[in-house]
Structure 1
Amino acid sequence: MIEVPASKKECFFEDLHINDKVWRGSALPVISRKLVSQMTVTYQVGGGGHLDIDFWLTDPSGHALAKHLKQSTGSISITAKKDGRHEYCFSNQMSSVVDKIVSFNVHGVIYVDDDDTVAPIEREIRALAQGLTSVKDEQEYIVIRERRHRNTAESTNSRVKWWSVLQAIMLFCVVAWQVYYLKSFFEVKRAF
């Protein structure tokens, strides 16, 4: 989670390479196969303003690979076509007052060609790892969504409470005025 101040942007970098020769984060042996590096970024605005943010992803030469404007949630996956540092940014430059809270996940995946040399157990391990990552992302999304809905419910509850207090005060004022006004009808007026 990050907080993006009003009129600012926050940028992050990931180094991706074509034909990586290592299976990152795994003890599985890699026989010489074609490997391709992929990155997935998922994000969601959890608080601030209209719950929207600008997002873009650029390759090492500065070409935009993805751009989302005023989105509250998004996901983008890219496959590395160039070696180097890929930049992704969250921008709150459209807001001059409100800071935004953004939750995001970055997943780097190294894909190995599925040919006949891949063991069935290796395929299953990859499928389970991908499923686990998917479940984790969904849980984080649900936590942020629950927080946003709870804040909305608390805000609504506060407004209803103060509206009820205002109505009670107005009711007592109207009743007091009516009693005073009706009392003036029954007063005896004497002429001297």
Structure 2
Amino acid sequence: MWGNANVRRSAMFRSAVFVVLLLGLSNAPAGDAIWLNVPQTGTKCVSEEIQSNVVVLADYVVVSEDHGHIPTISVKVTSPFGNTLHHKENVTHGQFAFTTQEAGNYLACFWSEGHYQGAGELSVNIDWKTGIAAKDWESVARKEKIEGVELELKKLEGAVEAIHENFLYLKDREAEMRITSENTNARVAWFSISSLGICIAVSGLQIWYLKRYFQKKKLI
């Protein structure tokens, strides 16, 4: 009996430790806050490689030491295929949200277009969230009527699903890269064989031409 009780206590303790670790992991920040220095002339961009069917949410704001006059910027977000997902001009802050339609690098570019007359560069703070970090968990909690540990476990379940999908995406990318590498190696091999064949053919023609030339000159 005492042995069974100890086993049960040990199992309960491990479960409690596991839940605490899960809560700690689920509370870890999943978004990326980026400080970007935008030059007075030119464009500064940030990009992130994202798979398809992923929610992206970002807030950006211009940070200036001169609180009386906050300079404005222009923003453009494009997909890997060049489609414009967000475009604003002469703004001091804003937000863009979309669900990715194709996998690849999504590009967010910022520029001042000469509107900023101060010294140095502009500072822009970008809070970029994707996937599980961009999900509205308050709405989920209200809809499913969950809270506390159950809500944290729900967050962790979403994080695990996101990690699993990311692994599948990386596996597919690795397979694509392997196929591309094999095709490239095959083409290089055929090119090498063709080059060798051409060299042999040209050498044979040179020998035949020289032999005929020397025969006409009666040197051989």
- TM-score bucket (shorter structure): 0.3 to 0.5
- TM-score, normalised on structure 1? 0.47
| Structure 1 or 2: more strand by fraction | 1
| Structure 1 or 2: more helix by fraction | 2
